[in-house]
Amino acid sequence: MRKKDISILLVLSLIVAASSFAISASAMVSESSYPLTKEQLKKKYIPELGAEELPLVRASHQPCLHALPTWMGMQLGWPKDHGISIKYVYFVSGMPQVEAGVAGEWDVGAIGTVPMLMAAIRYGAYMVGISNDESETNDMWVRPDSPILKVKGWNPRYPEIYGSPDLVKGKTILCSTISTGHYAVVATLEALGLTEKDVNIIHMEQSAILAAFEAGKGDIAQLWAPLDYIGEMKGWVKMSSGRRAGVVIPGAIIVWRSFAEEHPDLTLRWLEMYFRGIKFEKLHKPAYMLSRYFIEYCGLEQLTTPICVKEFELRPLFDLEEQIKLFENGTVDKWMSEIANFFIREGRITEEEKKKAWESGFINVKFLKALADKKKEASDAIEKAIKAVDDAEKSGVAGSIILSLRSLIEDAKKLWEEGCYFKALDYANGIIKAAGEAPKGVAVKTIEIMKTTEVIKTAEVFPLTWAIATVTVTTVVVASIVYLIAKKRFAMPKKK
């Protein structure tokens, strides 16, 4: 080989080596600094909830349907999705629940609207939502041989109520007083032209009523779900209910004012999880989960799945948009005002106390509207994320990255559909940032080629210098062979 050929090969080698070095280094640096897989992108750009200890929310509930969103959510691992941890606090009825709340034992929860009103008037609690409509499941029961069953529809305005003034007057009613059940009892008595003075009301907690009535005590048992289903299984007959007596008895979602004002973000995050549960219940009617709650947590072994199906048939649930409408059109105000008037007639509160409660703004739609705003914000962010990924694809971002980002968008949509608006927003914002920072051009294409051909996988498999050397040597050898072949083929014949 002549010196001229050697010189040309050396120059060519240096050029090729420098180019290979630049491409290889660029590829390796790009690969090590920008994630390619879905999990790598998620780890870098989307906050991981639970990486640190999550703030605690203490949620209070009873053995009722309105406990299910919290209890079910805890069983399914939902609290972490909403950035909180939950301590579950259990009570058998509303007034003990209120008393414990006054003592600082819980922050949020679900409760009957009668104890809700007492908590608002006396202690400044907020009613921030409706857990369900329990008008039909606050009811009154008699034994199958009761003479009360001889008459039905004595008052034509209330055709489903059994009894008459003569048949009910003087009877003993076992009742959990200052409760939604008590409200249904008084409404029934009024429908029959009677007052509490015409009967003998004995206060008992629900489980005690069930046992005493089965033992033959009392003439009428006031119950609420789910214990009324047990009464029905025993052959007792429903005499009346709140709905049959013409009153609406919603369940309340309660938050102590001090907690709501000191921790509005935690209040909103728990409320988000609670409404995720309501959405799940409306869609799936999870009688099996409710039965598990009653049997495993509340010790109510009779409440099997077929029985719990009734809870979703008799107790309407309201989603976020429906509730905001009920709050803003005055319906909730009307329901609560009627309950307050009941208390006034009972001598439990005064007109002045009612006025003070309403002026304090205890019926508080602020958190529902904030949750609706968060829902919209997350939806808008997902749309922006979709556009950001589309723009990144047009600008030449590698296909593997685009596929990973689009998979994350589908995850964000699913979270939003489930009701995880905070987390969906985190996903969307992370995707927008990832799309904006995604590398474009040759470096990423080189990575894709190397991954496909398995010449070089990552800097974790080959050290950077070894990878560069391998590419450089291979390129120089190939270039040399090409040069020599070309030189031989196209060489001019020597002159003689």
Q: What is the model's pLDDT at position 32? A: 46
Domain boundary among 333, 368, 403: 368
Note the pLDDT of residue 429: 98
Question: The domain that contains 148 carries what CATH number?
Answer: 3.40.190.10
Last residue of some domain: 207, 241, 275? 241
142 and 232 in a common domain: yes
Residue 413 CA to residue 421 CA, distance in Å, equals 10
Give the pLDDT of residue 21: 46
d(CA 269, CA 105) in angstroms, rounded, equals 19
pLDDT at res. 253: 98
Question: How many CB atoms lie under 10 A from the CB of residue 128?
Answer: 26
Q: What is the pLDDT along the chain (496 residues), one digit of tens a residue?
A: 555 555 555 545 555 555 554 444 444 444 446 777 999 999 999 988 766 789 999 999 999 999 999 999 999 999 999 999 999 999 988 889 999 999 999 999 999 998 999 999 999 999 999 999 999 999 999 999 999 999 999 999 999 999 999 999 999 999 999 889 999 999 999 999 999 999 999 999 999 999 999 999 999 999 999 999 999 999 999 999 999 999 999 999 999 999 999 999 999 999 999 999 999 999 999 999 999 999 999 999 999 999 999 999 999 999 999 999 999 999 999 999 999 998 898 888 999 999 999 999 999 999 999 999 999 999 999 999 999 999 999 999 999 999 999 999 999 999 999 999 999 999 999 999 999 999 986 444 444 444 444 433 443 333 444 445 555 555 555 555 655 655 565 454 554 4
Assigned token pair, 432: 């927008």
Instruction: State residue 52's pLDDT score.
Output: 73
- In this structure, are 359 and 282 located in the same domain? yes
- pTM reported for the whole predicted model: 0.83
Residue 44 lies in a domain: no
- Total of domains in the chain: 3
Domain shared by 67 and 200, yes or no: no
Residue with tokens 């509005």: 264
Which of 320, 349, 368 terminates a domain? The answer is 368
Residue 174 belongs to domain spanning: 138-241
Angle of helix 421-437 relative to helix 38-45, nearest 10 degrees?
A: 110
256/158 same-domain check: no
* Residue 236 sits in the same domain as residue 280: no
Question: Do residues 440 and 470 make contact, with C-beta atoms less than 8 angstroms apart?
Answer: no
Give a yes or no: residue 434 inside a domain: no
Judge if 304 and 257 occupy the same domain. Answer: yes
